[in-house]
Each structure stands twice: as structure tokens, then as C-alpha cells.
Amino acid sequence: MESPLCVSIFLLLSIFIQSSAHGQSLGLEPLGRRSRAVEENETLQETKTRFLLFERGSNEPCQIGLHRPGSLQQCGFNSSLPLVMIIHGWSLDGFLESWIWQMVTALKSQLAQPVNVALADWITLARNHYATAVQNTRLVGQEVAAFIRWLEESVPFSRSNVHLIGYSLGAHVSGFAGSYIGGKHKIGRITGLDAAGPLFEGNSPSDRLSPDDANFVDAIHTFTWEHIGLSVGIKQPIAHYDFYPNGGAFQPGCHLLEFYKHISKHGLNAIPQTIKCAHERSVHLFMDSLLHADQQSTAYLCSSMDRFSQGLCLSCKKGRCNTLGYHTRQERQSKKSKKLFLVTRAQSPFKVYHYQFKVQFLNQIEKPVEPTFTMSLLGTEKEMQKIPITLDEGITSNKTYSFLITLDSDIGELVMIKFKWENSAVWANVWNTVQTIIPWGSRPHYSGLVLKTIRVKAGETQEKMVFCPENMNDLQLHPTQEKTFVRCYINSKNLKRKNR
């Protein structure tokens, strides 16, 4: 990562650390899960958290007074609909961030499945030293739990219809709400949007958001880039399904160039802006799933981004893939968290199409070649020109390479691949010299690099395809040359061209 960005992240982490140092002396109260009923009467007559409801057809928030059932009606709460409650995070400036209103609008735009949209506004408690704000997450969690229980007592309503969406510290608030609510049943769903890392990473499940906190917990990790042992967003899995877009460490479009743009636009205020970019991306990815119903992003179970980048994880068998965001398939067969990976675009709509390419090379040259290739993909809907391919290692002998290619748009069904060796003309001359010097003799057909087959797997459709050279009599690939591959079936040893 480029250094000014490092500096800015370092500054933010310094703020975290500074306030953590302050906070550590206070110590985090180890409270048992569901052990303590909330002392409603004394402490919660007046909650510090404001519960705001956003009526349909109105953009004005309406405050619900806990223990004032009349306010539910006044604010237009519909007890036959689910309740989605947004819970914001730590605040530097004491203002509610603008994404909150965007999220409200996005949730209200769900006309097919209408919901009550609420906000837990705990800004007065969030605007504090980081460590103090962290301590307050428990209190706010208690208040949210009390609010839900009060709802259940006041109107015919079940906690299983509650979906808490918490960002940063708000994710842990949601977790505490889920554990403090007590009783036999759990809250329906909690979504943690880049849950805060400092003072939570490595904690026991009762001291952070965890899969125990709701019937279904999903989390999106977008800024887990670590500096001196700390990351803004929590790295460890904390949900039933943990999504790591682009690996989770950092996000496309949040890089140095944007940093300078922000500096010129906002001056020094750019620093929080830049930091927020990747952290807040979790929110925008989630909103995207509401706003672009037809462009849902699929994520795939994988052990690491490294393996994912080799295209090795694009399977949907046995629940190995899931949809990112609001429409996530809610499944929790195992207690173990599932880590899912995906690539996204740098802006909305974020969806990409994932493909695994497996290219089988035969190299009859004695020394390794390190070629650069490009591929052009022709689909039934669209064509993608010259996608660069870099193989990490040189091609030494017979080897199959697997890699991930992502496309920003849907090309339809893939029908043809043009594979080109992109090296310069100079390289081509060297190649020809090498060819004439090395006596190939008995193996005239293999005096170069031979591409036998290209196997393709499309993540989004789960379709598997095999492509063979169009011209089976000329299999060699030389620098600057392009070869065309068409769909074929592999029939035991023989390659058969598909008739189309």
C-alpha cells in the first residue's frame, strides 16, 4: 500500500490506540451472556438511545418513546411487518453519517417486502473517545434489547421479525442486544457491516458480535488491513456467513488517487474520508443489494483470498455459495462460521461475474518461458477484449494453470476465446533465433508452446465448459500470435469439436 495512505491509516489507528490506552485502564466489564435481565424500570424509563421510525411516504423520522405505546401508532409502526433497525457506529464529529439516510431510503424502496425501518440513534454515547464509545456499546445493546421486549409486550410482535443492521461499533451493539434480550428465543437476524476491530478482535464470543446473537448472523468485512496488530474492521469471522469482498483487507476505488482527490476537495478532513472509504464500503455493498435487485453479488466459500484468486473456489455445491447483502440465504446448519469471498467493482453496481480458467500448456523448450498473454472472450451477449493474464511463475514444462477472471458485465454464454501471446516483436525475433538454434528434429509439432485445452467454469451460472483450438492442425503458439478456441466436448482421449 502506498505510503500517504499508510500514514492516514496510521493516524486513525493512533486515535484508536490512544483512546484504547485510556480505555484499557477502565477495563471491559466481563458480563455473562444473557445472565442479567435489564433493569428496565430504573434505567430505561428514559433511554439514552433514541429510537426513530421512518414512516412510509415520509422522510421525517418519528421518535418512539419507550413505554409510551401511543407513540408506536403515532409513528405508524405496523406490527404485522418485520422491523429493520439500523445501528450506527463510532462518531468523530457527533453527526449522523449520510449513509444512514441512504440506507433508510433503500430499505423503504423494498416495496415487494415492506418493513418498518428504524434507527437506533446513540450518537451522544458514540461521540466519545473510542474506548468509551466501546464501553457504551453494551449499554446501547441493553437499550435495544429492552426496546424489542417492550415492543413484544405492547403489540403482537415477535423478536424473530427483527433484523438489526449494525455498522462498525453498531455491529457489536447489535450483538449485545441479541445476547442481553434473554428469554428462549433469539432476534431474527443481525447483519454486521465491517464490525469494529480494535478492542473486539480476539474477544470471546460474548464480548463481540457472534453467531449466538441471533437466529441468523451475517457479516461483511471490508477494511481489515492490519497495521501494528490492529485493523479498523474486525478480521476474524463473527457470523454464520462472513463475507470478505476483495479479500476484506482493502477495497478497490479507495486508493491513493482517491486520497489526493479527497485532500484537494476536503483538505485535512480527507483523512477520515479516506479511511471511511473502505470501512463504509460494507454499507454500500449492502445497500447495493437493495437497490439493484437484478444484480445480486454471489460470494463463494473459500479458505483464503489466495486460493480464491486462483479461481479454485467457484463452487455452489452443498451451500458453498451465497448472496451478499439483504437477500443472503439464511442458513445456519453448522455453528462454524463460513468465510466467503468475492470480487467487486469499485463502484455501484458492484457485481462482477467470476470465471475460473484452467489452461493446459505443453512446453517442449528446455528453459522456462515467461510470456504475457491476453484473452478476448466472445459471449452470446457481449465481447470482452484483451483481458491481461499474468501467470506468477514461468511455464517450465507441461502444466495446467488455474486463475480467476472477473468481468464487469454479463457477456451471456461464452462461445469463443481468443488467446494471444502479447510479447513484443523483439521477443518474437529472439524466439525465432532460439527456434533455429535448438535442433527440434523429431518433434516438429511441438517446437513451441502448445495450448491443448482451456477449461472454464462460470461461478454465477455454475456452467463448466471446455474449449479446444479451432485449428487442430496448428497447435503451436508463438510470440505475437493469436489462437482461437471454440467450445468442444472432451470424449475420453479425443477432443471433439462441438457442432454449433
Q: Which is nearer to ligand NAG, 82 or 459 (CB)?
A: 82
d(CA 152, CA 401): 57
58 is a contact residue toward ligand NAG (CB under 6 A): no
Is 213 annotated for ligand binding? yes
Nearest to 278 by CA among 194, 191, 173: 194
Interaction residues for ligand NAG, span 354-373 (CB under 6 A)? 362
Q: Which is nearer to ligand NAG, 4 or 76 (CB)?
A: 76
Quote the cell numbers at residue 342.
Answer: 468475492
d(CA 321, CA 333): 14
Shortest Å, Cβ 112 to ligand NAG: 11
Among 3, 41, 204, 492, binds ligand NAG (CB under 6 A): 41
78 is a contact residue toward ligand NAG (CB under 6 A): yes
Candidates 75-83, 136-144, 224-232, 295-303 — which segment interacts with ligand NAG by CB under 6 A?
75-83
Candidates 58-66, 77-85, 163-171, 427-435 — which segment interacts with ligand NAG by CB under 6 A?
77-85
Interaction residues for ligand NAG, span 81-120 (CB under 6 A)? 81, 114
Candidates 25-33, 73-81, 403-411, 414-422 — which segment interacts with ligand NAG by CB under 6 A?
73-81
Q: What's at 418, amino acid-wise?
A: K
Quote the cell numbers at residue 71.
Answer: 407513540
Contacts of 394 (CB under 8 A, 6+ apart): 368, 369, 370
Shortest Å, Cβ 73 to ligand NAG: 9
Task: Report CA torsion sign: 202, 207, 209, 210.
Answer: positive
Taking residues 392 to 411 in sequence order and writing x for each that binds ligand NAG by CB under 6 A, - otherwise, the string is -----xx-------------
Residue 334 has, within 13 A of its CA and on its CB side, a CA count of 8
Contacts of 180 (CB under 8 A, 6+ apart): 34, 36, 38, 138, 141, 142, 145
From the list 19, 168, 231, 282, the catalytic residue is 168
From the list 88, 172, 240, 279, the catalytic residue is 279
d(CA 148, CA 346): 37
242 catalytically annotated = no
- For the chain, the C-alpha Rg in angstroms (whole number) is 27
d(CA 332, CA 214): 11
H helices of 292-333, in order, are 305-309
d(CA 368, CA 337): 42
Candidates 64-72, 78-86, 125-133, 481-489 — which segment interacts with ligand NAG by CB under 6 A?
78-86
Q: Which is nearer to ligand NAG, 101 or 446 (CB)?
A: 446
279 catalytically annotated = yes
334 is a contact residue toward ligand NAG (CB under 6 A): no
Q: What's at 255, amino acid-wise?
A: H
Q: Which is nearer to ligand NAG, 73 or 424 (CB)?
A: 73
Is 127 annotated for ligand binding? no
> What residues are annotated to the active site?
168, 194, 279
- Chain positions contacting ligand NAG, by CB under 6 A: 41, 78, 80-81, 114, 362, 397-398
